[in-house]
Structure 1
């Protein structure tokens, strides 16, 4: 009787273990599907927002400084820099199969190209205007420009964190790079939302489409910055726990 009871207990324990593994496996699978779906949605939103902005710039009329400014900044911030952030995500479609060293390389290439286009686009508009940063669009553009430059320089210290570890702690370098880059991207997206709300764009796209694009921009920004924000919080908590 005791032997039978022992066998039953062992059988129940094995079934319980198997059940937990199945539940865990199903949960991980559902989470993976959700993350992949969000990544796909982010790419669709990026394509829609960037494509509409570019189409607006190639409407009838001359290619003036404002149009060049929009093209360069949208390509720099919303296309290339968003892909630079996503390239490090484990759920990103085109970079998920890359080795970590190649992900970082892709991140740097995209960041350099995106920062270059965004900074060039900003400078072109600054030279074209006589009064600067007197609107919320311009003020957020300035924040994005400053933090883009700081993030780019700070990224060099993050890239060579091991070599500079005696001067600057490795973790601090990475935390500040995540922080500066996230602020730059959020500010750039906010700036774009104010751009979509400008009257000359609303007249071309209709108020309904303008509001839709603002919503799309907000959604893609949230999806893209979720992982960096969690990484920032995780690394910061680890520093304080030491």
Structure 2
């Protein structure tokens, strides 16, 4: 009798375990589909914003310092640096199949190229102006410039974390690199939003397109920084628990 009850109990447990596993796998599938969709959306929004900015730069007129500043900073921050951050995401379309070592190399190359263009574009405008950082656009640009420069230097310690482990803990260098890079990217996107709100752009693109460009920039910035923020919190908690 006891054996029969045990068999019935085990069969019931197996039935319940299957009922539990199916929703979990279904939930994982839905989450992966959502993350993949968000990644695709971020690429579309990045392309739209960069495309609009490039069209504005090459509108009728001379290629002055302001236009060079725009195209270098947009390509540097919103294209190359955005793709550098996305390259490390497990849900990124073009890098998800690569090994982590190759993802990090691609991240480093894109980060150097993007930072180089952005820093060059910033200094071109600084040399062109007599009064600096007297607007929110300029102030956020300064924040982005400073944190981008620090992030590049900090990126070396993060890249060679193993070799520098006796001097600087690897986890700490990675945490600070994530923090500096995220702040730089968010500040650059905020700066671009204020650029879209300028009268020169609004008169060329119409106010509706300007608001749409601001919304697109805010949307893909939010999507892109989610993964770095999750990593930042996880690594910070791991350090605190030690």
TM-score bracket for the superposition, by shorter chain length: over 0.9
Q: Name segments (4+ residues, structure 1) moved above 6 Å.
A: none
The aligned counterpart of 2:85 is: 85
Q: Secondary structure at the match of 1:166?
A: coil
Please give the residue correspondences for 1:1-242 in structure 2 after superposition, counting only pairs within 5 Å. 1-242=1-242
Q: Secondary structure at the match of 2:163?
A: coil
The CA distance in 2 between the partners of 1:101 and 1:53, in whole Å, is 33
State the distance in 2 between where 1:174 and 1:60 align.
Answer: 45
Q: Which region of structure 1 is more displaced relative to structure 2, 43-52 or 14-23?
A: 14-23
- Separation in 2 of the partners of 1:226 and 1:92? 13
CA offset digits 1:193-233 (Å, max 9, x no partner):
00000000000111111011101100100000001011111
What secondary structure does 1:105 align onto?
helix
What TM-score results when the alignment is normalised by the length of structure 1?
0.99
Q: More deviation in 222-231 or 17-26?
A: 17-26
Distance in 2 separating the partners of 1:3 and 1:102: 56
- What is the CA–CA distance in structure 2 between the aligned matches of 1:117 and 1:81, rounded to whole Å? 10
Secondary structure of 2:177's counterpart equals helix
Provide the C-alpha distance between the structure 2 equivalents of 1:49 and 1:25, rounded to a whole number of angstroms. Answer: 36
**How many residues in Structure 1 have an aligned counterpart in Structure 2?**
242
User: d(CA) in 1 for partners of 2:97 and 2:56?
Assistant: 35
Partners of 1:173 and 1:16 in 2: CA distance: 46
Please list every run of 5 or more consecutive structure 1 residues that lacks an aligned counterpart in the other structure. none
TM-score by length of 2: 0.99
1:73 and 1:230 mapped to 2: Cα distance? 27
The offset of 1:3, in angstroms, is 3.4
CA distance in 2, matches of 1:235, 1:209: 40
Distance 1:222 1:76 in 2: 18
- What's the CA shift string for 1:111-169, capped at 9, x where partnerless? 00000000010011011111110000000000000000000000000001111111111
Deviation at 1:4, TM superposition (A): 3.0
- Partners of 1:10 and 1:154 in 2: CA distance: 56
Give the drift of 1:5: 2.6
**Matched position secondary structure for 1:163:** coil
Q: Spell out, residue by residue over 1:14-39, the C-alpha distance to the aligned partner (whole angstroms, 9 max, x if none).
A: 11111111111001000000000000
Shift, 1:6, TM fit:
2.2
